[in-house]
Amino acid sequence: MRTIGFFIQKEFLQIFRNRSMLPMIFMVPIIQLLVLTYAVTYEMKGIRIHISDADFSSTSGQLTGKFTGSPFFVVTSTGTTHEEAEQALHLGKADMALNIPEGFERGIMRSESPQVELLYNAVNANVAGLSSAYTSSLIADFQGNMIADLMGGMQGSIIPVADITYSYWYNQEMDYKLFMAPGILVMLVTSIGLFLTGMNIVREKEMGTIEQINVTPVKKYQFIVGKLSPFLIIGLGELAFGMLIARLMFGVPFMGSIWLIFLFAALYMLVLLGMGLIISTLTNTQQQAMLLSWFFLVIFIMMSGLFTPVESMPDWAQWIDRFNPLTYFIRVIRLVMLKGSGWDEVKDQFYIIGAYGVVMISVAVMRYRKVG
């Protein structure tokens, strides 16, 4: 244990003497957490819309008012013809267009179900899909108001009204930052753990000090534990600091046990440290280690469910995602922090990531060869 302690002390001294590594460990993740949590969102506001109203009636004005009064839409231009709407989309002046035909109000009064035309710029399918959903909601609300007005004018009529009560659990304000902050925090901890571990031992190779260590009587397990322990401590420290910022800056609640999160994080860090050690045995330079780490990191992030639901992926992608450790940690940290889940709800993820960590560390130890 004394030898391992000296190794850990040596590693911390090297880390804090490396001026280029300190900002990467402490400053970069915090800046990314603050920026990405605000920037990465599926909420859309300011959707540019062109409105062509050929009816010039009070009813068409009410429909137009639904869009001008919505925080999700910005009316950038208006007109009276279909051609003007098409031109606005073609020139990139609008993301969507609404065409209200002549006789729109007359058709409603006669119960003829008049139609309106909606045009979307679907170059970005996500933007078009969300714009369509918002628009459908506004038009449905407009239709409900019109039906109520028409039926209310009939004496003695009984208007059945469906009373719908919404209850949003675990994120009552529907604040997307509460959903994104824990996931982005996991992503940053992952990048720190994987990159630094992969480059650390390779740096010893480049400096030539690895040969000096190999000919010492230090055991292989002592070397590996001494090398990896500082990054386990740094990773957990980054997580703690990031959770504090998430709480103070974004109001992310801690509904469950913080100790449960840190216990899972410790197992998760073993997976990362094992992968980083494997990468270091496969590469000879820090540049190679960084590129290989980046290769795996991009796949892990894009398939983790951080930005898109795993359930929306093809079956083959969901099967591959079972080997993605990032998926399990994001799921656990969101469940514990936002929902207050306990051991019974996350124990399966614990067993999987624990087995994953044992496999990674075992492979890493077998891959590392010590001379002498």
Q: Do 59 and 116 form a contact (C-beta atoms < 8 A)?
A: no
* Cross-sheet strand order for the sheet of 117-120: 73-79, 47-53, 96-100, 117-120
- CA nearest to 341, candidates 249, 247, 272, 253: 253
pLDDT of residue 372: 40
pLDDT of residue 151: 63
As a whole number, mean pLDDT of residues 11-39 equals: 76
Both tokens assigned to 215: 């000919």
Cα 168 to chain centroid, rounded: 20
Close Cβ partners of 347 (under 8 Å, ≥ 6 residues apart): none
Distances (CA, A) of 17 to 9, 14, 20, 22, 287: 12, 5, 9, 8, 20
pLDDT of residue 353: 94
Residue 180 has pLDDT above 70, yes or no: yes
pLDDT in tens, 26-65: 777 778 788 888 777 666 778 889 999 888 888 888 888 8
Domains and CATH numbers, the chain: 2-40+174-367 (no CATH), 47-152 (3.40.1710.10)
Beta-ladder partners of 75: 49
